[in-house]
């Protein structure tokens, strides 16, 4: 999944975790499942820092329109309304990927099958170009 000749975007959600309940897991699972079905979704990765309690979710998109579909989801709005129950301070970063290099599949999950049809390993960020 090369992004040569096209722009790739990221949406990164960084937050301090609190205890989760069943409603959190229901909303989180539904948002993730629906996000992966949006045309233009390229993959995702997640990171946790056990020392700080911070968690990060990074989604890759081929357009801002695709990203805005996630933001406009009813379940996303519901989770945002209830977020103080499950998360502490948070930060959202929307970025445009200028280049990426190294192992293109490292840490990337849930890459849509059509993006891998040509045997590519799932690079959502543009191949082995150095900035």
pLDDT beyond 60 at 125: no
Ordered domains of the chain (ranges, CATH) = 8-116 (3.30.70.100)
What pLDDT score does 2 carry? 45
Mean pLDDT of the 67-89 span? 95
Q: What percent of the chain has pLDDT over 90?
A: 69
Per residue in 89-109, is it b (16+ CB within 10 Å) or e — as a string?
eeeeeeeebeebeeebbeebe
Of 4, 11, 25, 12, the residue nearest 86 (C-alpha): 25
Q: Are 104 and 125 in contact (CB under 8 A)?
A: yes
pLDDT digits (tens, 9 = 90+) for 34-64: 999 999 999 999 999 999 999 999 999 999 9
Q: Are 40 and 114 in contact (CB under 8 A)?
A: no
Residue of 46 and 127 predicted with greater confidence: 46
Name the average pLDDT for the chain: 84
pTM metric for this prediction: 0.77
């Amino acid at each position: 999944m090369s992004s040569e000749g096209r722009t790739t975007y990221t949406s990164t959600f960084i937050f301090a975790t609190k205890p989760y309940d069943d409603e959190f897991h229901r909303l989180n699972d539904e948002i993730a499942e629906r996000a992966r079905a949006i045309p233009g979704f390229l993959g995702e990765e997640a990171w946790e820092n056990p020392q700080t309690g911070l968690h990060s979710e990074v989604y890759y998109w081929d357009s801002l329109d695709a990203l805005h579909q996630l933001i406009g989801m009813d379940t996303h709005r519901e989770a945002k309304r209830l977020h103080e129950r499950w998360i502490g301070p948070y930060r959202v970063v929307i970025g445009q990927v200028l280049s990426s290099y190294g192992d293109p599949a490292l840490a990337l999950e849930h890459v849509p099958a059509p993006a891998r049809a040509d045997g590519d390993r799932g690079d959502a960020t543009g191949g082995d170009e150095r900035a």
